[in-house]
């Protein structure tokens, strides 16, 4: 399922042959579980050395490293919010992650980027709300890219993204207002 330059991919983000993949990092940028662990394993030990030089990253933002052993040239390490009920600015911080990555892509003149479902694993952000923020922010700020992939590890998340993109396809303007 695709809409504009956005497409849903089911699978492992570490295998994507795009210009940049996005990591769901924590504020230390020193590695963790989930997709972060998978990316560090696939990129190799040089990645941790590069991350150490960045001295962390605030929540709602992102920092870049090379992709090392990955097919992707870049990794953008985004620090999503931990869900704590939705009243602590989680939505703005999550949108900030997507926006920061799109800005990095634009600055580096990239054509393609792959996002995981940031914050929806260990950080417990509700999947549908998170996907709405991802699609809305990419639609608003992702025009310079030819291809934006939402890489979903599980079928439930993929189905949510597919339905959001299908809705956009059916009624793009109305959906844009509603999202």
Active site residue 36: yes
Q: Which of 12, 19, 36, 154 is catalytic?
A: 36
The residue behind tokens 């390490």 is 77
Residues 6 or more apart whose CB falls under 8 angstroms from that of 158 comprise 8, 10, 152
Residue 38 or 159 having the CB closest to ligand ADP: 38
Q: Across-strand partners of 3?
A: 6
80 sits near ligand ADP (criterion: CB under 6 A): yes
Footprint (CB under 6 A) of ligand ADP, residues 151-170:
151, 153-154, 157
Footprint (CB under 6 A) of ligand ADP, residues 118-157:
118-123, 151, 153-154, 157
36 sits near ligand ADP (criterion: CB under 6 A): yes
- Farthest-apart Cα atoms in the chain, separation: 47
Please provide residue 172's backbone torsions phi and psi, each rounded to the nearest 5 degrees: -55, -40
Residues 6 or more apart whose CB falls under 8 angstroms from that of 53 comprise none
Binding stretches for ligand ADP (CB under 6 A) = 12-14, 24, 34-36, 38, 80, 116-123, 151, 153-154, 157
Catalytically active residues are 36
């Amino acid at each position: 399922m695709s809409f504009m330059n956005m497409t849903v991919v089911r699978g492992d983000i570490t295998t994507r042959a795009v210009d940049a993949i996005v990591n769901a990092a924590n504020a230390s940028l020193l590695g963790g579980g989930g997709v972060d662990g998978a990316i560090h394993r696939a990129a190799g030990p040089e990645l941790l050395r590069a991350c150490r030089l960045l001295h962390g990253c605030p929540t709602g933002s992102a920092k870049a490293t090379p992709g090392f052993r990955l097919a992707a040239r870049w990794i953008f390490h985004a620090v999503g919010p931990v869900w704590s009920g939705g009243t602590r600015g989680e939505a703005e911080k999550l949108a900030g992650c997507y926006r920061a990555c799109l800005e990095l892509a634009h600055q580096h003149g990239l054509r393609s980027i792959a996002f995981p479902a940031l914050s929806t694993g260990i950080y417990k952000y509700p999947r549908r709300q998170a996907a709405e923020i991802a699609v809305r922010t990419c639609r608003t700020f992702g025009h310079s890219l030819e291809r934006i992939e939402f890489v979903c590890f599980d079928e439930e998340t993929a189905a949510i993204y597919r339905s959001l993109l299908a809705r956009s396809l059916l009624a793009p303007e109305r959906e844009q207002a509603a999202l």
